[in-house]
Amino acid sequence: NAGVMQNPRHLVRRRGQEARLRCSPMKGHSHVYWYRQLPEEGLKFMVYLQKENIIDESGMPKERFSAEFPKEGPSILRIQQVVRGDSAAYFCASSLQAAGPYEQYFGPGTRLTVT
């Protein structure tokens, strides 16, 4: 029973390039959450998606960031024209249901470094 998968684990981009981070939820999970962890800080919520729908993007920067969770395939977090301040660890979590005592299971994270 594979856990939440994220790839790549490490991603290096130059300023101005695009970064694409992928997240495959646990089998049977249709709820996906993205969090960002800046160095020496806690995780901060970015966006919550169900299959083909963005439910809550209140934590996502308004520009350059987008997320999707298509009917088939992984969830994608896309950062356009990256800047040094985007350097962080990005974590994906999935859950079976949104409400109730359903745990969010975390992936290993993608560490993005912008040079």
Partner 1 sequence: AQTVTQSQPEMSVQEAETVTLSCTYDTSESDYYLFWYKQPPSRQMILVIRQEAYKQQNATENRFSVNFQKAAKSFSLKISDSQLGDAAMYFCAYRRIGNAGNMLTFGGGTRLMVKP
User: Which residues here bind partner 1, judged by CB under 8 A?
Assistant: 31, 33, 35, 41-45, 48, 56, 59, 89, 91, 93, 95, 98-101, 103-104, 106, 108-109, 111
Q: How far apart are CA 34 and CA 76, in angstroms?
A: 10
Q: How far apart are CA 41 and CA 49, in angstroms?
A: 24
Query: Distance between the two ends of the chain, CA-based, in angstroms?
Result: 37
Regarding beta strands 10-13 and 110-114, do their DSSP bridges make them parallel or antiparallel, or are they unpaired?
parallel
Pick between residue 17 and residue 45 the one whose CB is nearest to partner 1: 45
Pick between residue 18 and residue 41 the one whose CB is nearest to partner 1: 41
Q: How far is the CB of 82 from partner 1 (least distance, A)?
A: 20
- CB-based contacts of 73, cutoff 8 Å, min separation 6: none
Pick between residue 17 and residue 57 the one whose CB is nearest to partner 1: 57
Q: How far is the CB of 17 from partner 1 (least distance, A)?
A: 23
Q: How far is the CB of 84 from partner 1 (least distance, A)?
A: 20
